[in-house]
Structure 1
Amino acid sequence: MATRADEPADPDRPRARRPSNGAVLLWVVGLTGLILVIGLLTGTGVRLVSLLVFLPAFAAAFADVRQTVFTACWSIAAMALSLAYHPAPDQGDDIAALTLTVIFGVLSVLGCRYRIGHENEMLRLRSTATAMQRSILRPLPLLTDQVLMDGVYEPLQEDKLVGGDIYDLAASPYGTRVLIGDVQGKGLPAIGTAFAVIGAFREAAYRETTLPGLVNALEEAVVRHNAIAAEADEPERFVTALVLCIDDSPTVQAICCGHPRPYLVGPGAAVSVLLDEADLPLGLGSLASAARTVGRFDFPFDTTLLLCTDGLTEARAPDGTFFPLRKRLAENAELPPNRLARSLHTVSRAFAAGHQQDDIAVLALRRATAEGRSPAA
């Protein structure tokens, strides 16, 4: 169905902000009055009134098509009345001024239609990106019988909803499997690799009985995706990842594939979990001399397990100083998971003076209580 150029077709799609008709009317009348008053006071009314030719151009930059049409008609009418009241010695000058005003008005309306058409296209793309993000990254928080996961996800480019950082959680028959990862690079190719890893995780998390089997499935997915990318002359990519298995026992199984270490945050303290860092990122497993190893650590009920990507660990201040993550964790150790993740994100943005260098994913996990247990979809 055809739609107007100044209006998105889908009522559920977010719309660009437009000034109200009253605001546009007040702005046009006020600016016109200001020009006329200054012209009368300085005795240059006819010359200053020619500035009205630019009113539609200003309106085209922020108003909708109807408001721009109104502004163009207003400027033409105001110009005609001014020239009729103070005609120029040469009638040809008046005709030229009025013709120029009409031309500027028409061009402004056409420019406004083009701008709004472009904005609506961006809104449609953003709506598509929202749907794609929901397919790749499920909204937080997520809850299973074993764990509650909450946190913050923010891509590097604020006009994009999906970046290279990924996460997921699966309530498998073998315990809750958790994934956090970071795809090398940015842009659509990185998102394609993210699709491959997330899809493989969601299938293999329920199929593979062991954590190494799950990680091997993710490795194979990245290798296959890189093979397809190579055929299209696109660069191959690797993925740093941390994969966990949390069941009803106090011990968590973990395989780290070149990813930043997790932290255990308890009352007044934050401890980095020591895991084998020799394991290579996904996509580079063939370069390793031995199979990936499973690490184990305790995850008590009264602690928060914090997972993050290097967008947080490598955040830097303008002077190059790295974000003191462990210190900030200890200072905020008493916060619940959702507030802890959001606090770290807010503080890191302030530390970096608002200059974000990479995608950021911060996940805070707590053991689920018996009262709040519910399987994740």
Structure 2
Amino acid sequence: MRVRRELLRSGRPWWLSHGLLAIPLALIAAITVLDISTPTSIHLGPFLVAAPAITASFAGPGLTGAIGALAVAAQILIGRLHGGLTTPNHQAQIAALIVISVLVTVFRYARDRHQRQLSQVRSVAAAAQQVLLWPLPHRIGRLRIESAYISAEAEAEIGGDLYGAVPVPGGTRLVIGDVRGKGLAAIGEAAALVGAFRGSAYRHLPLTALAAHLGNSVYWNLAHAPEEDLESFVTALVLDVHDDEPAIEMVNCGHPPPILLGDGRIRSLEVAEPAVPLGLTAPAESDYKVESFTFGPDEVLLLYTDGVIETRNRSGAFYPLTDRLALWNEPDPAALVRRLHDDLLRYADGNLGDDVAMVAITRPPEPESG
């Protein structure tokens, strides 16, 4: 049972690890038989070191040490049958095999310990993502929503991009934003902004008042941040999607404009007077202006952060977002986000220079009564 637990901890299926274990065992048996059968002038015992080395590639330290001990026992048996254990040659071979087996076992133990620590860090990051950046529901009212997040950090689950959605009377309110910079400071600012957005949901503020509330929240947090973070800011987009009319209302605070897809057309929802990014000043409600756009049934609204359009390929060319969207003409938000996610990673060869967040929204036609 202990051997089986070792194999299960190695991360491979039991049947596969069980088959791999036969390799070092067969190697020990074959080398022992061949060495005993050959003249004493031929020494095959040193090849026994391959058994614990191979075992370390798929099993834990306990099983690696056991195979190493079995290899040492085989070397002792060979020595007894080939002139005795007192010969300097056999003593040197046994000592060398013991040292190498111990080293391989220690290295495997250190690797397993590092893997456990890395798994714990990843689990904490995943838990933090669930707390700080809740996955958006696939449905809110009549809306169908799909979202995706890609962190630029290789081992991270979250970064400085953010999004959120809450139901409000008569519709759904959404936010998407991008904190300048990366790392822990960006994560903290993103968490503060998402918290302020959720905390204001029950107050049913107008969009201009919500934007001012978020701007003051970011400004206050940055005022109490370390000196190196004082020049940070957040681009953001807040919008209401109405239930009873084919329209959205939006306040843009220096964020890339959303894209509306439908009827074979692609429209960039540019506002006439975008506000400055959040955190640069302590804003008032009058600093923001709401602009309205049509958003009909079966159209898809794509929100995204600038990590999408600033992704580069090997030649340094930016990602052609509108060209890709026109080529796909994808009406399903889940399929659109999945395609965009995979295509971005392919375009950048898996090495994104910035965090990426994307949200696709559609409103199916209301079913006819009767």
Which TM-score bucket, shorter chain as reference?
0.7 to 0.9
**Counterpart position of 1:131:** 127
Tell me which of 223, 237, 241 is aligned to 2:236. 241
Per mean C-alpha deviation after superposition, the further-off stretch among 279-288 and 241-250 is 279-288
Instruction: Confirm whether residue 111 of structure 1 aligns to residue 107 of structure 2.
Output: yes
Q: State the alpha-carbon separation in 2 of the partners of residues 326 and 230 from structure 1.
A: 39
Q: State the alpha-carbon separation in 2 of the partners of residues 32 and 45 from structure 1.
A: 20
Aligned pairs for 1:1-377 within 5 A: 17-18=11-12, 20=14, 21-32=17-28, 47-53=43-49, 55-87=51-83, 91-173=87-169, 175-230=171-226, 236-248=231-243, 249-276=245-272, 278-286=274-282, 291-367=287-363, 370=366
CA change 1:369–1:124 in 2 (3 A) is farther
Per mean C-alpha deviation after superposition, the further-off stretch among 140-149 and 313-322 is 140-149
CA change 1:370–1:158 in 2 (3 A) is farther
CA change 1:281–1:307 in 2 (3 A) is same
- Displacement of 1:136 after TM fit? 1.8
CA change 1:103–1:148 in 2 (3 A) is same
Secondary structure at the aligned position of 1:229 is classed as: coil
Q: State the alpha-carbon separation in 1 of the partners of residues 42 and 50 from structure 2.
A: 15
Q: State the alpha-carbon separation in 2 of the partners of residues 44 and 171 from structure 1.
A: 84
CA change 1:95–1:266 in 2 (3 A) is same
Q: State the alpha-carbon separation in 2 of the partners of residues 65 and 245 from structure 1.
A: 57
- Displacement of 1:65 after TM fit? 2.6
Q: Which runs of 5+ in 2 are unaligned?
A: none
Q: State the alpha-carbon separation in 2 of the partners of residues 136 and 37 from structure 1.
A: 62
- Displacement of 1:172 after TM fit? 1.9
- Displacement of 1:357 after TM fit? 2.3
Q: State the alpha-carbon separation in 2 of the partners of residues 137 and 188 from structure 1.
A: 14
- Displacement of 1:297 after TM fit? 0.9
Per mean C-alpha deviation after superposition, the further-off stretch among 60-69 and 119-128 is 60-69
CA change 1:170–1:95 in 2 (3 A) is same
Per mean C-alpha deviation after superposition, the further-off stretch among 136-145 and 297-306 is 136-145
CA change 1:291–1:35 in 2 (3 A) is farther
CA deviations over 1:43-95 (Å, ceiling 9, x no partner): 89855531433543453354213321222122212322333343489713322
Identity of aligned residues (%): 36
- Displacement of 1:99 after TM fit? 2.2
Aligned alpha-carbon RMSD (Å): 3.3
CA change 1:225–1:52 in 2 (3 A) is farther
Q: Which runs of 5+ in 1 are unaligned?
A: 9-13, 372-377
CA change 1:89–1:368 in 2 (3 A) is closer
Q: State the alpha-carbon separation in 2 of the partners of residues 164 and 349 from structure 1.
A: 18
Secondary structure at the aligned position of 2:361 is classed as: strand
- Displacement of 1:192 after TM fit? 1.0
- Displacement of 1:250 after TM fit? 2.3
- Displacement of 1:305 after TM fit? 0.3
TM-score normalized by the length of structure 2: 0.85
TM-score normalized by the length of structure 1: 0.83
- Displacement of 1:188 after TM fit? 1.7
- Count how many residue pairs are aligned between Structure 1 and Structure 2: 360
- Displacement of 1:23 after TM fit? 3.1
CA change 1:312–1:87 in 2 (3 A) is farther
